[in-house]
Chain A
Amino acid sequence: MRRQIPLALVFIFGVFMIFQYFVPHESSEWIYEFLLDWIYIIGIFALALGIWSLIRVSITKIKARKANWGYPIITLMGLFLMILFGFTGYRNGSLGFHFMTAEGLSNPMFRNFFDYILIPIQSTMFALLAFFIASAAYRAFRARNVLASLLLVAALVVMLRFNPYLGPIGPYVADAASWLLNVPNLAAKRAIIIGIGLGMVATALKIILGIERGYMGKG
Chain B
Amino acid sequence: MILGLMAGLLFTPLAWAVLTLLCGFERSRLISWLGILVQSLVSFALWAAVASEGGFYYQLGGWPAPLGIELRVDGLAVTFVMLTAVVGGACGWHAGIYLDPTKTSHRYFWPLFWFLWAGLNGVWLGGDLFNLYVALELISLSAVGLVALGGQADALRAAIRYLMAALLGSLAYLLGVALVYGQFGSLSLAGISALLPADSGQAGLVFALVLMVAGLALKTALFPLHGWLPPAHGIAKSPVSALLSALVVKASFYIAARLWLEFGEHLGSYELAQLVGALGGIGVLWGSWLAFRQSRLKQVVAYSSVAQIGYLFLLFPLSWGVSEAVALQAQQGMTLQVISHALAKAAMFLAAGNLIMSVGSNRVDALAGVSRFLPFSLFSFGLSGVSLMGLPPTGGFAAKWLLLQASLGSGQWWWLIVLLGGGLLSAAYVFRVYRASFIENSDTDQFFHPARSLEVIPMILALLSLGLGLVAEPVLSVMVLPFAKGGGG
A, B co-complexed: no
Chain A residues with a Cβ under 8 A of chain B = none
Chain B residues with a Cβ under 8 A of chain A = none
